[in-house]
Amino acid sequence: MAASRAPALSPKPPDCGDCPIRHRAVCARCESDELAELERIKFYRGYQAGQVVVSAGEPMGFVGSVVSGIATLTQTMEDGRRSMVGLLLPSDFVGRPGRETAAYDVTATTDLVMCCFRRGAFEKLMLRTPNIGQRLLEMTLDELDAAREWMLVLGRKTAREKIASFLATIARRDATLRPGAADGGIVFDLPLTREAMADYLGLTLETVSRQMSALRRDGVIRLQGNRHVTVPDLARLIEAAGDDSDGGLPG
**Residue 115 burial by CB count (10 A; 0-12/13-18/19+): exposed, middle or buried?**
buried
Q: Is residue 10 within a helix (H) or strand (E), and if so which, with residue range?
A: none
With contact defined as beta carbons under 8 Å apart, do 68 and 90 qualify? yes
Q: Does 159 bind DNA (CB under 7 A)?
A: yes
Give me the numbers of helices (H) and strands (E) for the chain, helices first please: 8, 11
134 vs 193, beta carbon nearer a second copy: 134
Residues 102, 55: Cα–Cα separation, whole Å:
7
Q: x/- binding map, residues 21-60, to a second copy, per CB under 8 A?
A: ----------------------------------------
The nearest distance, CB 11 to a second copy, in angstroms, is 33
62 vs 150, beta carbon nearer DNA: 150
- Main-chain phi, psi angles of 82, to 5 degrees: -125, 150
Residues 209, 124: Cα–Cα separation, whole Å:
47
8 vs 28, beta carbon nearer DNA: 8
- What does 136 interact with, of DNA, a second copy, none (CB < 5 to 8 A by kind)? a second copy
Among 20, 69, 86, 191, binds a second copy (CB under 8 A): 86
Among 41, 49, 154, 223, binds a second copy (CB under 8 A): 154
Q: Does 85 bind a second copy (CB under 8 A)?
A: yes
Helix (H, G, I), strand (E, B) or coil at 189: strand
Helix (H, G, I), strand (E, B) or coil at 187: strand
- What does 185 interact with, of DNA, a second copy, none (CB < 5 to 8 A by kind)? none
- Non-local (6+) Cβ contacts of 86 within 8 A are 72, 73, 104, 143, 147, 250, 251
With CB under 8 A as the rule, give the number of residues binding a second copy: 45
By CB under 8 A, name the binding residues for a second copy: 73, 75-79, 81-83, 85-86, 96-98, 103-104, 126-127, 130, 133-134, 136-138, 140-141, 143-145, 147-152, 154-157, 199, 201-202, 242, 244, 250
